[in-house]
Amino acid sequence: MRLLAEKVCVDRGGRRIVEGVDFVLSDGQALILSGPNGAGKSTLLRAIAGLLPLAAGALTLDGESEELAAALHYVGHAEGMKPALTVRENLDFWASFLARADAAAGLAPAQALDAFGLAHVLDIPAGYLSAGQKRRIALARLLVAPRPIWLLDEPTTALDVRAQEALAAVMARHRAGGGMVLAATHSPVGLDNAAELKLGGVA
């Protein structure tokens, strides 16, 4: 599998935020998006996820743009959970919503949480949890509905050292199985041998 970006441009509010981005990402590879605040890291990830339109250029997966959305997992700044639902109920919802008929089943919610050291919160309403716990649960979504490409926007936000190590281990297993990771970050995220794409913003 190969994700290809060719001369990608993205506008927001009538202003060019991302200009002429090119990259190729293949099985098992990772790409770190770096740059100062406002450089367009989150904007580029949202465009790849299909949440923002491209102003120019193309994004294709093995040459087929229409297949890209079904191959992606996007974890942005919002945790994407209903506070009144338990953690199990939230993860069950995402597993069902993101399920692909042609993909293997993901981990059960308890197993996904265990990967992040959170199995004990399975039946607690999400609204009762700390910011760091909510972030780990959002990342556990990656494991309940397998998809090959992970788009992670500042994935270590609110994570302590142990949680960051757990995330690094999860990403390493994903890549070892042929998965790909694109991460926008200011901090090290444990992505060994990752390429870096530095965004500088558009004047």
The structure's pTM equals 0.92
Query: What is the per-residue pLDDT for 8?
Result: 96
CA angle 191/106/28 to nearest 5° reads 30
Strand partners, 24: 4
The alpha helices in 31-176, defined as continuous H runs, are 41-48, 87-98, 109-114, 131-144, 161-176
Residue showing tokens 């927001």: 12
* Per-domain boundaries in the chain: 2-198
Query: pLDDT tens digits, the chain, 203 residues: what are they?
Result: 899 999 999 998 889 999 999 999 999 999 999 988 888 999 999 999 999 999 999 999 986 665 788 899 999 988 889 999 999 999 999 999 887 766 677 899 999 999 999 999 999 999 999 999 999 999 999 999 889 999 999 999 899 999 999 999 999 999 999 999 999 987 778 888 999 999 975 54
Which candidate, 171, 163, 176, places its Cα nearest to that of 191?
Answer: 171
Dihedrals phi, psi of 184, to nearest 5 degrees: -95, 120
Dihedrals phi, psi of 186, to nearest 5 degrees: -100, -10
Burial of 96: CB neighbours in 10 Å, binned 0-12, 13-18, 19+: exposed
Tokens of 81: 């959970």
Q: Is 122 left (phi over 0), alpha (psi -120 to 50) or beta?
A: alpha
The CATH architecture one would assign to domain 2-198 is: 3-Layer(aba) Sandwich (3.40)
Query: What is the per-residue pLDDT for 7?
Result: 96
Query: What is the per-residue pLDDT for 203?
Result: 44
Query: What is the per-residue pLDDT for 25?
Result: 95
CB 163 within 8 A of CB 12: no
CB 115 within 8 A of CB 171: no
Query: What is the per-residue pLDDT for 166?
Result: 95
